[in-house]
């Protein structure tokens, strides 16, 4: 694929001779797509750096981008694509900046009638396509990383263990339950039981919209694990629809205490602790 020894790569030479004109036209055409959201000078310095890195490998056809010679240009594009992703550009806008170079190079070589140059041009075009697609890939990866991070943070945020009373902990669950989340809930609750020396735990599922057999299974596991550690676990806040689902699915809660509301569950826990909540005698009116 590389030009034969002694036979210089004509296209590279041509590009090298016209660097300034190329950059000028490239920036103009890319700025149209980006509609003034990027500063011209910034684009120019970016493109100049890009072209300087591209020229040494311009004689390849980019069919196999994993080669070591492309490492530098790939790293540069990755940085380029990431910063664009952060600035809120779409992947198409980022990639079209790369593709814009193609048209300019075609215009540059229009007058030439050398078939060898034409073949080189075709290979160069394939290389640019591959590089453009690479920005797409990097963009998608950057977004995936952000999403992954956010979902992990969400998992932590939505499962607080709160202390209701001396020796009584509660976990208000909100949203959908899946195995990963129930696992987090289970671990956090059990850790908190040990740390605070609490003998009662309440899992409140008022905010849970759906319960299937798997979720019920996870809840039961949590209750049994708490029991193994010597704590009592109550489930509260089962919605009417969910109660129907549970019965329809034939899920057995066995000897696990369930209460209709968090207040009932708290009263139950307090009674087990030997605490009675009584209304104070009515205050005497003066």
- Site map for another protein, 207-246, x if CB under 8 A? --------------x--xxxxxxxx---------------
Nearer to another protein, 230 or 250 (CB): 230
Least distance from C-beta 225 to another protein, angstroms?
4
**Phi, psi at residue 205, to the nearest 5°?**
-110, 30
Q: How many residues bind another protein (CB under 8 A)?
A: 18
For the segment 258-277, give every residue that binds another protein (CB under 8 A): none
Least distance from C-beta 174 to another protein, angstroms?
23
Nearer to another protein, 193 or 262 (CB): 193
Least distance from C-beta 224 to another protein, angstroms?
5
The long-range contacts involving 4-12, CB below 8 angstroms and separated by at least 24 positions, are: 9/58, 9/59, 9/120, 10/114, 10/116, 10/117, 10/120, 11/58, 11/59, 11/105, 11/109, 11/117, 11/120, 11/121, 11/124, 12/55, 12/58, 12/59
Nearer to another protein, 38 or 222 (CB): 222
Nearer to another protein, 121 or 270 (CB): 270
- Site map for another protein, 170-189, x if CB under 8 A? ----------------xx--
User: Is 58 a binder of another protein (CB under 8 A)?
Assistant: no
Least distance from C-beta 202 to another protein, angstroms?
16
Nearer to another protein, 11 or 169 (CB): 169
Least distance from C-beta 214 to another protein, angstroms?
14
Least distance from C-beta 186 to another protein, angstroms?
6
Least distance from C-beta 248 to another protein, angstroms?
25
Nearer to another protein, 55 or 184 (CB): 184
Least distance from C-beta 228 to another protein, angstroms?
4
Nearer to another protein, 14 or 225 (CB): 225
3-state secondary structure the chain: CCCCCCCCCHHHHHHHHCHHHHHHHHHHHHHHHHCCCCCHHHHHHHHHHHHHHHHHHCCCCCCCCCCHHHHHHHHHHHHHHHHHHHHCCCHHHHHHHHHHHHHHHHHHCCCCCCHHHHHHHHHHHHHHHHHHHHHHHHHHHHHHHHHHHHHHHHHHHCCCCEEEECCEEEEEEEECCCHHHHHHHHHHHHHHHHHHCCCEEEEEEEEECCCCHHHHHHHHHHHHHHHHCCCEEEEECCCHHHHHHHHHHCCCCCCCCEECCHHHHHHHHHHHHCCCCCCCCCCCCC
- Site map for another protein, 187-206, x if CB under 8 A? x--xx-xx--xxx-------
Nearer to another protein, 149 or 187 (CB): 187
Contact residues for another protein, defined by CB under 8 A: 186-187, 190-191, 193-194, 197-199, 221, 224-231
């Amino acid at each position: 694929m590389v030009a034969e020894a002694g036979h210089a790569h004509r296209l590279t030479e041509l590009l090298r001779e016209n660097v300034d004109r190329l950059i000028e036209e490239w920036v103009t055409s890319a700025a149209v797509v980006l509609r003034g959201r990027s500063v011209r000078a910034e684009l120019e310095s970016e493109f100049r750096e890009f072209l300087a890195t591209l020229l040494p490998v311009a004689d390849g056809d980019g069919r196999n981008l994993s080669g070591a010679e492309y490492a530098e240009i790939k790293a540069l594009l990755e940085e380029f694509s990431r910063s664009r992703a952060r600035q809120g550009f779409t992947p198409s806008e980022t990639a079209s900046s790369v593709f814009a170079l193609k048209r300019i190079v075609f215009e540059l070589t229009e007058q030439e009638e050398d078939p060898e140059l034409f073949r080189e041009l075709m290979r160069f075009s394939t290389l640019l396509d591959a590089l453009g697609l690479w920005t797409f890939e990097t963009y998608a990866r950057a977004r995936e990383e952000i999403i992954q991070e956010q979902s992990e943070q969400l998992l932590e945020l939505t499962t607080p263990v709160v202390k209701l009373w001396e020796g009584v902990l509660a976990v208000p669950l909100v949203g959908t339950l899946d195995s990963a989340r129930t696992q987090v809930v289970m671990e956090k609750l059990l850790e908190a039981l040990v740390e605070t020396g609490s003998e009662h735990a309440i899992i409140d599922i008022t905010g849970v919209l759906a319960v299937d057999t798997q979720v019920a299974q996870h809840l039961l596991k949590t209750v049994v694990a708490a029991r193994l550690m010597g704590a009592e676990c109550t489930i509260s806040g089962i919605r009417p629809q969910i109660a129907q689902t549970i019965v329809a699915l034939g899920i057995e809660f066995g000897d696990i205490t369930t209460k209709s509301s968090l207040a009932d569950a708290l009263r139950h826990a307090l009674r087990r602790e030997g605490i009675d909540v009584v209304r104070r005698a009515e205050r005497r009116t003066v």
